[in-house]
Structure 1
Amino acid sequence: MKVKRYVVDDLPQAVQMIRSELGSDAVILNTKEIRTGGFLGMFRKKRVEVIAAIDEASRKPAPRPAAPTKPIVRKSEPSEESAIPAVQLPNAAVRERYARSTGTSDAPAVRTSAVPSAASAVAVAVPAESPSKEAPERGAFAVPDDPRPARPVQAGAGLAENPDTASLLTELRSMKEMMVKLSKQQTFRSMPDSVMNWSRRLAEQGVEAPIIERFAEEVNDRLGTEGADDESAALSVAREVLLEWLLPSAGSGINSSTRIVHFVGPTGVGKTTTIAKIAADQSLTHHRTVGLITSDTYRIAAVDQLRTYADILNLPLEVVFSPSEAQRAFKKFEDRDLVLMDTAGRNYRNELLVSEVNSMLSPGEHAETILVLSMTQKYGDMKSVASQFAKYGVTRLLLTKVDETDSYGSILNLALEYSFAISYITCGQTVPDDIRPFDPNEWVSRLLGEPAYA
């Protein structure tokens, strides 16, 4: 028996190494977590120690029976004509000889049987209906018996094993995809220039390709043949379509019935400044008593920044480090009309960090969570973060730093893909002025580049 020890990062890595080195018959005897490396006993890395073994005798392949050197003929009742040797001929030759011997123009249906040999397997064609008790007629051929038990043939197994067939299927799939793409391009080419111009405008704004295709088809259908060349009509229809898409995303800000609002989002999107703007607006304009909570203890001076805003607005602030402390802080602010909670900015493309921040939040009918994203981010990064929080039921969105970009396609992408309700838009650093509710009419005009918002 051969025993070997592996020290790896995780168990799947060990399994792969064991299979490649010891074979698939190896067994794992023991697994254990260990810590290696480090400096002065600190910063040691967690590893996994795996002990595996293989029986050397089991690795020797069993001897295979020698292939028969002579074909075995199935015998029926003894007769002179029954001792016809098994003949291995191509399929076409068998049919032709059978037709000549029987005097018929068409050979009967045939079945094929794979006959293994030492070199290769040869397909032998035989008549489908051959006598079982009587000797075969002249021109009919007996099938050699396979000494090994027959294995069931799965449908499509030959196609998968044949490399030529597999490459042909791959080529057919690629041709199908190319034809679909060409069909879409041909549809786009057949659209009027007015529709194409607004589609290009949305592409420049960063709108996703599937949304642009949907937009072009819908605008073209509504224009019809009469207004296809009318630029003003195309603009009117384009505005109508985009407005219908963005109207469901118009949020209502913070409702008067809401008591607790959590703000979550990645690093550097402006959560702390946004909370100060909303706290000032709710306190000074709506005359509500506001309390502030922060769990952003990872970033240097993050607590001091929010404390400065709280002192200016004369609002109480609580700093929490764990879910239990967060619950005590919420209970402490039971007499407040509104509680705003700031969370730490992390790499929220990692689902573990999303679940960690979710444990700090206070559930309830009068609580809501707002995802804060910056318009200066790439849409791919925004999409990754949004999909993680959408799993936990976050449906409200706040977009910051709109004044720092000229591309607004991410608004349309997020609204259509995740059905977010956009509560606020921020467009500057001034507290509390540079924040306003989301207005679909304004952002349709920005998407289309109309002069009032260009």
Structure 2
Amino acid sequence: MDKKTAYKLNEELKKVLLSKGGIDEKIAMELLASNIEDMGARFSPIRVNQGNRKVIALIGSAGVGKTTTAAKLAAVWKYQEKKDVALIKLDDHRIGSIDQIKIYAKIVGVPVEIVSDKNGIKLALNKFKHKDLVIIDTPGLNCKNDVELEQMYHYFDNIKPVEIHLLFSATTKENDFIHLSEKLKKFEIRKLIFTKIDQSSTHGNILNHLIRTKIPASCFTFGHEIPESVEDATMERLLSLVLESRKKEKPATEFAETREIADNRVNRENDTKEYFVANQNSDVFHKPGCKWTRMIKENNVVVFNSVPEAEEKRFKPCRYCTPKAEMKYEYSKYDLRKRRVAS
């Protein structure tokens, strides 16, 4: 999770943990969820309305789990939701990929059409026009291959209505999240699916990406069981993942203070976990709890791990929340002026 998001979420956690009046855990989590929604995180599970066919296309990098996810969703909607489901496989000529989708289709008990171009997609969709849900499995994308990306875009350009879901592995690095999202902007991604939840020990990157893109998450997948290992994406589920992984982290990680702050609200001038924030358009830094931090917009937050780091970046301490640091700062300026006069 990047520093800005960690700071914002940490502030909301502190509000919850410092609450008075015997607030119970359920209400605390609801308050936290509400604040995270205000930051931009959205959730929109897949829904199929009676008499209105839904078509979804799964796209993403190779190995992210598109084919397995297609099979899981088909099983859920066929057996749990009692819907008429079909699969379409866009052939990428990769060895074993067609066999895999055919095996899954046979296991789940749904029809599958193998296609190789845009016209094939249209014909398959026409064949499955009476289905409740059609899931299109696509080849893995190579974001460094612009020709390949353009080809994939044209497969679905002007084919309506197709709801495109972009898949990310929960183990994806933050920079790769950003890079892939930027590359696929023109695809009109409607929802995000996060796979391999069980293979990641931290899940702050998921929350961070939802806040950054403002694109809702539709589901989470984990493990290999069909259909047990897929579930609707919800705020409650993601919070449980993030907070659970938080418990496993060391106290001095980027997602810094939580309950320690609630238990130790006194001045902690020498605490190595302490950090400071500033408005990038200002020249003053503050402690996170300073009243002036409430006026800093999310996109303008700058985080420093120490007073020297902030001063090195030409920020000066706040008189209100860091009076000792401010006194040292003013004294150092006065001392420098004295030495200049003496010389």
How is 1:89-238 mapped onto 2 (pairs within 5 angstroms)?
A: 207-216=1-10, 227=18
1: CA distance between counterparts of 2:188 and 2:57? Answer: 13
Shift of 1:238: 8.1
Q: Secondary structure at the match of 1:309?
A: helix
Residue 241 to residue 389, structure 1, CA distance change in 2 (3 Å)? same
What amino acid maps onto 2:46 in structure 1?
G
Identity %: 25
The partner residue of 2:151 within 356, 365, 389 is 356
Is 1:441 aligned to residue 232 of structure 2?
no
The partner residue of 2:76 within 267, 281, 289 is 281
The residue aligned with 2:181 is 386
Deviations, residues 145-184 of structure 1 (Å, cap 9, x unaligned): xxxxxxxxxxxxxxxxxxxxxxxxxxxxxxxxxxxxxxxx
The residue aligned with 1:334 is 129
The residue aligned with 2:226 is 431
Is 1:254 aligned to residue 47 of structure 2?
yes
Shift of 1:365: 5.5
Residue 217 to residue 367, structure 1, CA distance change in 2 (3 Å)? same
Report if aligned partners of 2:53, 2:131 keep a CA contact under 8 Å in 1: no
2: CA distance between counterparts of 1:301 and 1:432? Answer: 22
Shift of 1:386: 1.9
2: CA distance between counterparts of 1:372 and 1:213? Answer: 27
TM-score, normalised via structure 2 length: 0.63
Shift of 1:329: 1.7
The residue aligned with 1:157 is none
Shift of 1:405: 1.2
What amino acid maps onto 2:36 in structure 1?
W
The residue aligned with 2:213 is 418
Report if aligned partners of 1:390, 1:418 keep a CA contact under 8 Å in 2: no
The partner residue of 1:297 within 78, 81, 92 is 92
Deviations, residues 293-318 of structure 1 (Å, cap 9, x unaligned): 11132321100000011122332221
Q: Which has the larger radius of gyration?
A: 1
Query: C-alpha root-mean-square deviation of aligned residues, in Å?
Result: 3.4
The residue aligned with 1:201 is none
2: CA distance between counterparts of 1:409 and 1:336? Answer: 37
2: CA distance between counterparts of 1:293 and 1:319? Answer: 6
The residue aligned with 1:407 is 202
Shift of 1:373: 0.9
The residue aligned with 1:111 is none
1: CA distance between counterparts of 2:174 and 2:182? Answer: 12
2: CA distance between counterparts of 1:240 and 1:350? Answer: 44
1: CA distance between counterparts of 2:70 and 2:209? Answer: 22
What amino acid maps onto 1:340 in structure 2?
I
Deviations, residues 264-298 of structure 1 (Å, cap 9, x unaligned): 00000111011001111111222222221111323
The residue aligned with 1:318 is 113
Shift of 1:387: 2.2
Report if aligned partners of 1:395, 1:421 keep a CA contact under 8 Å in 2: yes
Q: Secondary structure at the match of 1:334?
A: coil
Report if aligned partners of 1:396, 1:421 keep a CA contact under 8 Å in 2: yes
1: CA distance between counterparts of 2:6 and 2:248? Answer: 21
Residue 296 to residue 316, structure 1, CA distance change in 2 (3 Å)? same
Shift of 1:364: 5.5
The residue aligned with 1:345 is 140
* 4+ runs deviating over 6 angstroms: 232-239, 450-454
1: CA distance between counterparts of 2:111 and 2:157? Answer: 18
Shift of 1:377: 1.7
Deviations, residues 13-55 of structure 1 (Å, cap 9, x unaligned): xxxxxxxxxxxxxxxxxxxxxxxxxxxxxxxxxxxxxxxxxxx
- Which ranges of structure 1 fall in alignment gaps of 5 or more residues? 1-206
Deviations, residues 217-274 of structure 1 (Å, cap 9, x unaligned): 5666x589xx4999x9999868734553258512122332452110000000111011
Residue 212 to residue 452, structure 1, CA distance change in 2 (3 Å)? closer
1: CA distance between counterparts of 2:245 and 2:90? Answer: 42
Deviations, residues 168-222 of structure 1 (Å, cap 9, x unaligned): xxxxxxxxxxxxxxxxxxxxxxxxxxxxxxxxxxxxxxx11121233345666x5
Residue 239 to residue 349, structure 1, CA distance change in 2 (3 Å)? farther
Q: Secondary structure at the match of 2:135?
A: strand
The residue aligned with 1:245 is 36
Shift of 1:445: 2.7
Q: Secondary structure at the match of 1:449?
A: helix
Residue 436 to residue 216, structure 1, CA distance change in 2 (3 Å)? closer
Report if aligned partners of 1:291, 1:339 keep a CA contact under 8 Å in 2: yes
Shift of 1:327: 1.6
Q: Secondary structure at the match of 1:348?
A: coil
Which structure has the higher relative contact order (CA within 8 Å, separation 6+)? 2
2: CA distance between counterparts of 1:342 and 1:450? Answer: 31
Report if aligned partners of 1:327, 1:362 keep a CA contact under 8 Å in 2: no
2: CA distance between counterparts of 1:330 and 1:362? Answer: 14
Report if aligned partners of 1:291, 1:336 keep a CA contact under 8 Å in 2: yes
Structure that is richer in helix per residue: 2
Report if aligned partners of 1:293, 1:317 keep a CA contact under 8 Å in 2: yes
Residue 362 to residue 277, structure 1, CA distance change in 2 (3 Å)? farther
Report if aligned partners of 2:57, 2:136 keep a CA contact under 8 Å in 1: yes
Number of aligned pairs? 245
1: CA distance between counterparts of 2:190 and 2:200? Answer: 24
Q: Secondary structure at the match of 1:371?
A: strand
